[in-house]
Amino acid sequence: MTNSADRDPAPLPEHLGFLAGGGLATRLILDRDWTVHPLGEPATWPDGLKVTLSTILNSPESMILAWGRDELTFFFNETYFPLLGPRLAWAMGAPFREVWADAWEQAKPIVDDAFAGRSQRFNDLPWKLDTDRGVEDTWFTFSYSRILDPRGEVAGLFIFTNETTARVLADRALAQSQEELHALNRTLEQRVRYATADRDRTWNNARDLLLVIDLDGVIRAVNPAWTVTVGWLEADLVGRSYLDFIHPDDGAPSNQALESASSAVLPAFENRYRHKSGGYRTISWNAAPEEDLVYASGRDVTEERELAAQLLLHRNIVMSNPNPILAFDRQLRVMAFNQAHQEKLRETQGVGSEVGDYFPAQFIPEERTAITALMERALTGELFTSRAEFGDPAHARLHWDIHYSPLRDGNGDIIGASHHAIEVTAQIDAERALAASQEALRQAQKMEAVGQLTGGLAHDFNNLLTGMMGNLELLQMRIARGRLDDVDRFISAAQGAGRRAASLTQRLLAFSRRQTLDPKPTDVNRLIMGLEELLRRTVGAGFNIEIAPATGLWIAEIDAAQLENAILNLCINGRDAMPDGGCLTVETANEWIDDRTASERDLSPGQYVSICVTDTGTGMSAETIQRAFEPFYTTKPIGQGTGLGLSMIYGFAKQSGGQVLIRSQIGQGSTVCIYLPRHHGEVVAPEEVDAGALTGTVGAQTVLVVDDEATIRHLIDEVLDELGYTVIGAADGAAGVKVLQSSARIELLITDVGLPNGMNGRQVADEARRLRPGLKVLFITGFAENAAVGNGHLEPGMELLTKPFTLEALSTKVADMLRTTTHV
């Protein structure tokens, strides 16, 4: 047997020396991520835990350590592995009540008594236990003892445990066997008489051992069966004490049995007689007294006892299981199988047959090959579960979860393996039905959301279009009549309605996570501090704003402008929730999100930067929180909100790989937190623009504009022509590529992302870069097709301008890109 220490990680760091000697149990401890565990890293554990854990890991006995008063963190050693079954992969360091959830109701009163100082020892206590062998009756001998820290406080529990199921079942079988033997032996003669020939024949021909012994334990007579069974001749035995021939450990109970037999018929008992050639044979005795002698008959039950143990294990653990079980040796020969295996899979072969011959006829060759490979994998010592589908392809095929585990002898060497199959066809059918119903529900919800979205969108856009069209009509009427007074007012009103429509579009894109983002590594603390003055002016003097930046805040790769807009929206919402004044707090933090928290918050596990805005206002009900991110949903009076603020924030966060969460109670204020993934890198400092560099470049540079919308193309042409640029226009990608293939001098390509006729803006840009390496490209788009422009990560020399844009924004962006450009 391989020593546990030989399998220890070597060498262990000095601060983890207490884990030495634990073998595979130490490996389970080292492999677990303790950074998010309540105990923290092993190096920081208390000395009491380290010392106790070292004792358990190095013990050859099956032991458990449950550390802590409330959590009861579960530790165990290698000897305990077989009891865990499928729990082994995750049990180390898990809460006790989760590891043994199926036995917790029975274990908790014992744990409570141990914590109260009422520790007990339980011998052969029956348990209903869900192990890798399935739910079954088991028996355990164990004790729970509390562990006290230097202050006398309970620090945990030490549990010594040993499964005694096999022995309890063997004892039951043994008692039955002995009773049968005793009944048989009661028919024998009570005394051996040497005077008659019949008795001589019985004495000489009996296969059982016959013995006459005095009350001092001296052998007076033996029959020839002694020589056959234990090798000793009559001359070797007669006149000597029987104690010279039995196992030393059996001396005391055998003497006690002899004393009992001196006065009454002795119930069957066993001891071990030494064979003349070595080793021991187990003899089952019946005896009765006659004057000063005891007459006994013994039967050699050595093979029976060995076989009984195997049969009990097979019968009680395997045969009674309702699921198919098969055991096989290292040569892939069948060692054992249960009735369920034979009935459900309809095999006709038996023990000793090759596994390949044992497979039922309905298995196709590929399935046989796959199962054989899994069996060979189990023979390496690995515990694992495989889900598979088997059966005749022309009929219904069943789904199974098959648990594989190695079988070891007393020295720990692998002698074979077993698989335990659980049919999960109904479960998989139910999962598929559930998925189909969920998809139908999602489709219904999607259509409901589309109806709500289009209704709210039509309402708001109709208002804005009325403002634009009405002011333009008034402007047209005034110009037609020659009246130019108030023209600026009508123009400003129409432009204002247009800007509000653009803002509404951006919010819709943010909600749908289709807006075009420009993510860059950003110092969020610096961004918020730069917003502080704007926030105070926006919120107003009647409110107190507190900024609480976290020390050492991580970097986030985000669109800074969108984050500023989100924080401003949250502060405005908080202000509106405090009609009588109050306090707004903007704070940042580094957040480690573990698996359980990630599942609760609909996030991926990992590191995040959080930005939380808290108000002391009226709070939100559970129903309001549930609907807060719906488009056009608002609790504000009509005319005071579009209901897209939180929708926009939610869309921005999800598009950035994060999440938004709300915590609130009526009358106790609200906290809205944005979680954004951490960026491992440095903040990129913005380039300083030399204003003087923009002069002197106009008039000698050519711009190619590709856009299928003629009004947009002509608008850009007019603006750039006014600034002195030469403009070449193209209505689709193919026409733009023809210009690029010509000898025309071009310093900048401006292309819409969404183009007709099979070639989008990104493809035009890629072809342009191939024909003219280094050519600068400005994408313009009214819809965020991120995939078309690189999912938010543009190549050097590429920029993005989102429709609708102002003429000033266009001219500034073009001048920026062309200030250092030479023609290509």
Q: Please state, in angstroms and rounded to a whole number, the distance separating the CA atoms of residues 227 and 278.
A: 14
| pLDDT band with cut points at 50, 70 and 90 for residue 29 | very high
Q: What is the torsion angle, in degrees rounded to the nearest 10, for the CA atoms of residue 230, residue 231, residue 234 and residue 240?
A: -60
For 498-519, the three-class secondary structure string (H helix, E strand, C coil) is HHHHHHHHHHHHHHCCCCCCCC
520-541 per-residue burial string, b: 16 or more CB within 10 A, e: under 16: eebbbbebbeebeeebbeebee
Domains of the chain, with CATH numbers? 4-163 (3.30.450.20), 177-300 (3.30.450.20), 321-423 (3.30.450.20), 429-506 (no CATH), 520-679 (3.30.565.10), 691-818 (3.40.50.2300)
Locate 634 and state its tokens: 């608002």
| pLDDT band with cut points at 50, 70 and 90 for residue 770 | very high
Q: Please state, in angstroms and rounded to a whole number, the distance separating the CA atoms of residues 140 and 137.
A: 10
Check if the beta carbon of residue 702 is closer than 8 Å to that of residue 726.
Answer: yes
For residue 471, the model assigns a pLDDT of 66
Which of 250-259, 381-390, 534-543, 659-668 has the highest average model confidence (pLDDT)? 659-668
Residues 6+ apart with CB under 8 A from 282: 270, 271, 272, 300, 301, 302, 305
| pLDDT band with cut points at 50, 70 and 90 for residue 427 | confident
Q: Please state, in angstroms and rounded to a whole number, the distance separating the CA atoms of residues 558 and 521.
A: 6
Predicted TM-score (pTM) of this structure: 0.33
For residue 194, the model assigns a pLDDT of 44
- Judged by average pLDDT, the poorest of 73-77, 480-484, 634-638 is 634-638
Residue-wise pLDDT tens digits, 473-482:
667 777 887 7
**320: buried, middle or exposed (CB in 10 Å: 19+, 13-18, 0-12)?**
middle
**Mean predicted confidence (pLDDT) in 105-110:** 87
- Judged by average pLDDT, the poorest of 162-171, 295-304, 514-523 is 514-523
H or E element that contains 466 = helix 425-480
| pLDDT band with cut points at 50, 70 and 90 for residue 394 | low
Q: Tell me the three state secondary structure of residue 565.
A: helix
Q: Please state, in angstroms and rounded to a whole number, the distance separating the CA atoms of residues 134 and 45.
A: 36
**397: buried, middle or exposed (CB in 10 Å: 19+, 13-18, 0-12)?**
middle
Locate 299 and state its tokens: 């039967």
Q: Please state, in angstroms and rounded to a whole number, the distance separating the CA atoms of residues 536 and 575.
A: 11
Residue 697 has pLDDT above 50, yes or no: no
- DSSP summary character for residue 773: T
- Higher-confidence position of 80 and 170: 80
**Mean predicted confidence (pLDDT) in 396-422:** 79
Q: Please state, in angstroms and rounded to a whole number, the distance separating the CA atoms of residues 54 and 780.
A: 66
Taking the alpha carbons of 468, 471, 474, 479 in that order, is the dihedral positive or negative? negative
Q: At which residue do the structure tokens 């097709």 appear?
A: 785
> 807-818 vs 710-722: helix axis angle to the nearest 10?
60
**Mean predicted confidence (pLDDT) in 694-707:** 69
- Higher-confidence position of 446 and 680: 680
Quote the mean pLDDT of the chain: 79
- Higher-confidence position of 133 and 484: 484
**Mean predicted confidence (pLDDT) in 251-266:** 80
Residue 739 has pLDDT above 70, yes or no: yes
Compute the residue count for the chain.
824
Q: What residues does 807 pair with on adjacent strands?
A: none
Check if the beta carbon of residue 816 is closer than 8 Å to that of residue 697.
Answer: no
Q: Please state, in angstroms and rounded to a whole number, the distance separating the CA atoms of residues 618 and 665.
A: 8
- DSSP tally for the chain: helices H, then strands E: 27, 27
Residue-wise pLDDT tens digits, 304-331:
776 555 545 555 555 667 777 878 788 8
H or E element that contains 625 = helix 622-627
Check if the beta carbon of residue 57 is closer than 8 Å to that of residue 19.
Answer: yes
Alpha helices in 44-152 (DSSP H): 47-57, 81-84, 88-91, 96-99, 104-115
Q: Tell me the three state secondary structure of residue 765.
A: helix
For residue 461, the model assigns a pLDDT of 61
Which of 460-469, 503-512, 593-602 has the highest average model confidence (pLDDT)? 593-602
